[in-house]
Chains A and B, each alone.
Chain A
Amino acid sequence: MITLNVNGKSMKVDTDPGTPLLWVLRDHLQLTGTKYGCGIAQCGACTVHLDGRAVRSCVTPVSMANGRQVTTIEGLAETVLGKTVQSAWQDIDVPQCGYCQSGQIMAATALLQENPAPSAAEISTAMDGILCRCGTYNRIRSAIDAAAAELKGAAK
Chain B
Amino acid sequence: MKTPQAPGRRKFLKDSVALAGGLVIGFTLPLKGGRAWAADTPVAPVYPPNAFIRIGLDDSITIIVNKSEMGQGVYTSLPMLIAEELEADWSRIRVESAPVAVVYNHTSFGMQLTGGSSSIPSSWEQMRRVGASARVLLVRAAASLWSVPESECHAENSRVLHANSGQSLSYGALATAAAKLELPQDVDLKSAADFKLIGKSVKRLDTPEKVTGRAQYGLDVYLPGMLTVLVARSPVFGGKVRSFDATEARKVPGVQGVYQVPTGVAVAASGFWPAKTARELLEIVWDEGVGATLSTKGMREQYRALAKTPGLSARREGDAGGILEAAQQVIRADYEVPYLAHAAMEPLNVVVDLKPDQCTIWTGTQSQTMDHAMAAKTAGLLPEQVKIHTTFLGGGFGRRANPRSDFVIEAVQVALVVKKPVKVVWTREDDMRGGYYRPMWVDSVAGAIGQDGKPVAWRHTIVGQSIVADTPFESFMTHDGIDATSVEGAANLPYSIPNIEVGLHSPKNVVPVQWWRSVGHSHTAFVVETMMDELAHQAGQDEVQYRLALLEKSPRHAGVLKLAADKSGWGKAKLPAGHALGVAVHQSFDSVVAEIAEVSIEGGKVRVHRVVCAVDCGMVVNPDGVRQQVESAVVFGLSAALHGEISLDKGRVLQSNFHDYTPLRFSEMPKVEVHIVESHDRPTGIGEPGTPPIAPAVANALFKLTGKRLRQLPIDRATLA
Contacts and interface: CB of A to CB of B under 8 A. Distances in A.
**B and A form one assembly:** yes
A134 B632 contact: yes
A98 interface: yes
Given A90-B208, A105-B211, A30 B1 contact: yes
Nearest to B631: A135
A139 B209 CA distance: 17
Q: Which 5 residue pairs are nearest across A and B when measured between Cβ atoms?
A: A33-B213, A135-B635, A99-B394, A97-B71, A98-B210
Looking at B72, B207, B639, the one whose CB has the most chain A CB atoms below 10 A away is: B207
A39 to B, nearest CB: 6
Contact of A132 (B222, B345, B659): B345
B543 interface: no
Contact of A99 (B2, B273, B345): B345
B636 A135 contact: yes
A138 interface: yes
Nearest to B394: A99
B72 A38 contact: no
Given A23-B271, A99-B395, A135 B666 contact: no
Interface stretch (B168-176, B667-675, B677-685): B667-675
A32 B204 contact: no
A86 B208 CA distance: 9
Interface string A109-151: 0000000000000011101111111111111110000000000
Nearest to A107: B666
A51 interface: no
B71 A131 contact: no
Contact of B345 (A77, A123, A131): A131
Interface residues of B, number: 64
A137 to B, nearest CB: 4
B203 interface: yes
Contacts of B671: 138
A74 B209 CA distance: 11
Interface residues of A, number: 58
B663 A133 contact: yes
A121 to B, nearest CB: 9
Given A37-B345, A125-B667, A138 B632 contact: no
Contact of A128 (B216, B396, B663, B665): B665
A77 B212 CA distance: 8
A32 B207 contact: no
Nearest to A140: B666
Question: Which secondary structure dominates where chain A touches chain B?
Answer: loop
Contacts of B665: 128-129, 131
B667 A28 contact: no
Given A27-B228, A30-B1, A93-B628, A37 B217 contact: no
A130 to B, nearest CB: 7
B672 A138 contact: yes
B254 to A, nearest CB: 8
Interface string A17-34: 001100100111011111
22 contacts: A16-B273, A32-B2, A33-B212, A36-B272, A37-B346, A37-B347, A42-B659, A43-B345, A89-B211, A96-B73, A97-B345, A97-B392, A98-B215, A99-B217, A99-B344, A99-B392, A128-B665, A128-B666, A132-B663, A138-B671, A138-B672, A139-B628
Interface string B212-225: 11111101101000
B658 A131 contact: yes
Looking at A33, A45, A77, A140, the one whose CB has the most chain B CB atoms below 10 A away is: A33
Contacts of A76: 212
B613 interface: no
A39 B204 CA distance: 30
Contacts of B632: 96, 134-136
Contacts of B72: 96
B78 to A, nearest CB: 16
Given A97-B392, A134-B71, A28 B271 contact: yes
A104 B72 CA distance: 19
Contact of B213 (A34, A90, A132): A34
B667 A124 contact: yes
B634 interface: yes
A132 B669 CA distance: 11
A33 B214 contact: yes
A140 B669 CA distance: 11
B345 A86 contact: no
B428 A95 contact: no
A17 B207 CA distance: 35
Looking at A86, A101, A132, A140, the one whose CB has the most chain B CB atoms below 10 A away is: A132
Contacts of A125: 667
Interface string A47-60: 00000000000000
B395 A133 contact: yes
A146 to B, nearest CB: 13
A134 B219 contact: no
A40 interface: yes
B300 to A, nearest CB: 27
Nearest to A42: B658
B657 interface: yes
Looking at A73, A99, A127, the one whose CB has the most chain B CB atoms below 10 A away is: A99
Contacts of B658: 37-38, 40, 42-43, 131
B527 interface: no
Nearest to A36: B219
A40 to B, nearest CB: 6
A39 B432 CA distance: 13
A94 interface: yes
Contacts of B210: 95, 98, 101
Contacts of B633: 135
A33 B394 CA distance: 12
A6 interface: no
Looking at A98, A99, A131, the one whose CB has the most chain B CB atoms below 10 A away is: A98
Given A86-B212, A98-B71, 8 more contacts: A16-B253, A89-B207, A90-B203, A99-B344, A130-B666, A135-B635, A138-B631, A138-B671
A73 B657 contact: no
Looking at B210, B213, B216, B659, the one whose CB has the most chain A CB atoms below 10 A away is: B213
A65 interface: no
A105 B69 CA distance: 21
B427 interface: yes
A23 B272 contact: yes
